Amino acid sequence: MNLVSTAIGYPYIGENREWKRCVESFWKGAKSEAQLMAEMKSIRLNNLKRQQSLGLEYLTVGDFTFYDRMLDLATMFGLVPNRYQWTGEEVDITTYYAMARGAKDVVACEMTKWFNTNYHYIVPEYEGQSLQLTKNYLLDYFTEAEEELGLNTKPTIIGPYTFVKLAKGYDAKTKAFFILKLIPLYAQVFQQLVDAGARWIQVEEPALALSLTADDVKLVQVIYKQLATEVPAAQIMLQTYFEGLSAYEELSQLPVAGIGLDFIHGAEENMASLRKHGFPQDKVLGMGVVNGRDIWRANLAERATQTKAVLSLSGVKEAWIQSSCSLQHVPVTTKSETRLDATLKDALSFADEKIVELTHITSYIRDEAWAGNKSVSQSMLATQALAQHKARKNARVNELVSQVTPEHFARPMTFKERQPVQKEALKLPDYPTTTIGSFPQSDPVKRTRTAWRKKEITEAEYTAFLKSETARWIQIQEEIGLDVLVHGEFERTDMVEYFGEKLEGFAFTEKAWVVSYGSRCVKPPIIYGDVEWIAPMTVREVDEAQQLTSKYVKGMLTGPVTILNWSFVRDDLSREQVANQLALALREEIQALEDAGIAIIQVDEPALREGLPLRKENWADYLAWGVNAFKLATSNVKNETQIHTHMCYCEFNDFIEPIRALDADVISIETSRSHGELIQSLKQNPYELGIGLGVYDIHSPRVPSEEEIDAILNDSLEVISKDQFWVNPDCGLKTRQEEETIASLKNMVAAARNLRQQQKQTV
């Protein structure tokens, strides 16, 4: 049997985030375009050399990007919206980054989650453009690897069905035209790669793991039949991941040379499909047997046994032993971590370590012996040691969980009953203005925090700085005229990490970075033990801010499901069990805030939707426990206390019932890049609780005009009543500059005042 080890993709950011620093330096004007291109090439080649040195046998190109791979494809095919005034030919880097981030006079393309991961992609916009192949960057990467390193790599590209599925701007009538324009371009890309000597082309189609209709299946069959006809010499590895392959019986017969299946997240379904339908013997089987989405060390004996079972069941003569999906969803290497608990660190596996696991499994299947006589026993001992860790045997947490009753999941009054009580207690103006929570993390803030962490300044000096910065921003907010203020969160590096550092059961890394969107990198906490609230986490900062103003200052917390979904989570408990532990800890924090006199408490759940299973038929169970976790955290407050929440990138139309079920008094939603779509959704599905539609895009460095916000507010009046209506930016302001933040908020407040005046005149 012919076996080869490979990975679907590798993290492009570098062990020390070299990619991020390079890109951001270019954005600031500190690097020329030539310098950017040279450094990016160096990073690409170093990533390949690193994987080669780890023993990976078949390397991938095209997993690299200058911002986002969906954006790469859109620009490669000339799918540039008219507002960018692109004139054809190759898309220049200025236009590319304008689409990603916006520019002074033009808004960015919409950004949303890549399936149910924590990564965001740029949504392609189809406007009926005459598409063209502007530049085959995959050919460039393939040739570069061959010329510089002597490697024959497999180029990888997001497949046409997934690309169209995740794009926007077409309807049922124009979809066919869109696809008909795309297929010849894909064929052109494939032919050029074949002509250049590419033995395989990896075509990623994660959308084939979604629920597919009969029409979807027919469309996929038409697409791949056409590609096979136009480029018969192309050896396509059709790569699926995140779930089992839908419509397996039909799609396994597509005219491709290989099919990659996820035997981690789609293991049960894919194995059942193999038993029922077998696997085509003329195809190569890609076997995703090492988890590309978590950070836990594989039990090599178990993985090898599973791999053997799949090979036996499929009967194939050739297979790829690979990651379940791209490794971009995990950090680069555990070797950079020097401070972790030894038992925990030994149980971790990041991208480099996962590659080594792949090579071990591959060599074992080939040779019936483990490379390195201790590799398999070490993996077993590491997982067993973590299972016995004292952090997983917290008696108080287990007792609290056992005491939860149905009454813990509901507030005493309904929203309709609470609303007049809160209106009388809070006495806020119509169309109250506020922000989502964070203010700019300026260079002085970052430098001072770094100095504190390095013990270059004392705790007292750091606390004094934070108090001073909070006081300055309370004054700024009052001068701007905001109605409900925030303390600014200057003590917080990350909205999840901050809370994890104050709870039991969490661990934190030094360099375990992953990309969230663009150049935004995060270090997800590791939930490895039972989660326990120890002492107030936010009360001091919010209470001190409240003492500085007669206006309300919101308490700011991150919700249990978001902490769960934005962390790497232990795999010995269900996610529901971990969410309930988090909810109980936050419940104690909310009680502490209320006891301190905080009247408005925001519990953000931006990640509630992104944790949804890929298939709608599996949503109900997740939403039941996810909504209950939020309610478990928030239901212990008085009726007068107003609970807010916030969500990002939410497809409101198919998510209104779960949002309503949260029973939050006010929800703010990030919608500025798709405001019109949300208005239409609310027309179809009215929402009765308090709501703030984000009135400007905080991910773009532009300042929205007062008139622009006026228009958004007036559009919103079509679907939101005065008693429900809040006015706010669409997300936190942490990443923005101070000058643009103040200017934007002034325009927002002025627009809200215009609306109040307008309403008075019509009464």
Averaged pLDDT for residues 89-104: 95
pLDDT at 13 over 80: yes
Do residues 241 and 307 share a domain? yes
Domain finish residue from 390, 406, 435:
390
pLDDT at 62 over 80: yes
pLDDT at 648 over 70: yes
Do residues 369 and 418 share a domain? no
Q: How far is CA 162 from the centre of its chain?
A: 17
| Contact present, 424 and 723 (Cβ < 8 Å) | no
Domain finish residue from 375, 390, 405:
390
Averaged pLDDT for residues 700-719: 87
Per the prediction, the chain carries an average pLDDT of 94
Instruction: Give residue 208's domain range.
Output: 2-75+134-390
**Helix runs in 16-80, H state only:** 18-27, 33-53, 69-76
| Contact present, 525 and 341 (Cβ < 8 Å) | no
Beta strands in 187-235 (DSSP E): 201-204
pLDDT at 649 over 60: no
What's the pLDDT score for residue 104? 84
Confidence at 653, pLDDT banded by 50, 70, 90: low
Task: Give 45's Cβ-side CA count (13 Å radius).
Answer: 15
d(CA 485, CA 503): 26
As given in the structure block, the two tokens for residue 16 are 């020390």
d(CA 411, CA 631): 8
Does residue 129 form part of some domain?
Answer: no
| Contact present, 514 and 567 (Cβ < 8 Å) | no
What's the pLDDT score for residue 82? 95
What's the pLDDT score for residue 606? 87
What's the pLDDT score for residue 674? 63
Portion of the chain with pLDDT greater than 90, in percent: 83
What's the pLDDT score for residue 1? 83
Does residue 720 form part of some domain?
Answer: yes
Do residues 381 and 449 share a domain? no
Do residues 585 and 651 share a domain? yes
Backbone angles phi, psi at 237, to 5 degrees: -95, 105
Do residues 651 and 726 share a domain? yes
Task: Give 39's Cβ-side CA count (13 Å radius).
Answer: 19
What's the pLDDT score for residue 716? 86
As given in the structure block, the two tokens for residue 55 are 């023993």
pLDDT at 336 over 60: yes
What's the pLDDT score for residue 715? 85
Do residues 582 and 617 share a domain? yes
d(CA 239, CA 288): 10
Q: Total structural domains in the chain? A: 2
User: DSSP letters along 281-311, please?
Assistant: TTSEEEEEEE-SS--BPP-HHHHHHHHHHHH
Does residue 618 form part of some domain?
Answer: yes
Task: Give 188's Cβ-side CA count (13 Å radius).
Answer: 14
Does residue 655 form part of some domain?
Answer: yes
Do residues 345 and 418 share a domain? no
Sheet holding 526-533, edge to edge: 503-507, 526-533, 568-569
Do residues 186 and 260 share a domain? yes
Q: Which residues pair with 553 in a beta bridge?
A: 485
d(CA 740, CA 513): 28
pLDDT at 462 over 80: yes
Do residues 433 and 369 share a domain? no
Averaged pLDDT for residues 502-523: 95
Does residue 406 form part of some domain?
Answer: no
Does residue 531 form part of some domain?
Answer: no
Averaged pLDDT for residues 261-281: 97
What's the pLDDT score for residue 65? 98
191: three-class secondary structure by DSSP: helix
Averaged pLDDT for residues 73-93: 95
Does residue 453 form part of some domain?
Answer: yes
Do residues 592 and 628 share a domain? yes
Residue-wise pLDDT tens digits, 121-166: 999 999 999 999 999 999 999 999 999 999 999 999 999 999 999 9
699 is catalytic: yes
Do residues 614 and 722 share a domain? yes
- Which residue has 């209470």 as its token pair? 543
- Which residue has 């530049």 as its token pair? 135
Of the candidate ranges 113-117, 373-377, 562-566, the one whose mean pLDDT is the lowest: 373-377
Averaged pLDDT for residues 273-292: 98
635: three-class secondary structure by DSSP: coil
What's the pLDDT score for residue 735? 83
Q: Return the closest-CA partner of residue 159 out of 141, 176, 179, 175.
A: 179
Confidence at 637, pLDDT banded by 50, 70, 90: very high
Do residues 351 and 457 share a domain? no
DSSP code at position 553 = E
DSSP code at position 35 = H
Portion of the chain with pLDDT greater than 70, in percent: 98
d(CA 54, CA 350): 13
d(CA 614, CA 265): 11
pLDDT at 699 over 80: no
Does residue 122 form part of some domain?
Answer: no
What's the pLDDT score for residue 607? 87
pLDDT at 222 over 60: yes
Q: Return the closest-CA partner of residue 666 out of 611, 593, 605, 746.
A: 605
Averaged pLDDT for residues 318-328: 98
Residue-wise pLDDT tens digits, 570-603: 999 999 999 999 999 999 999 999 999 999 999 9
- CATH code of 23's domain: 3.20.20.210
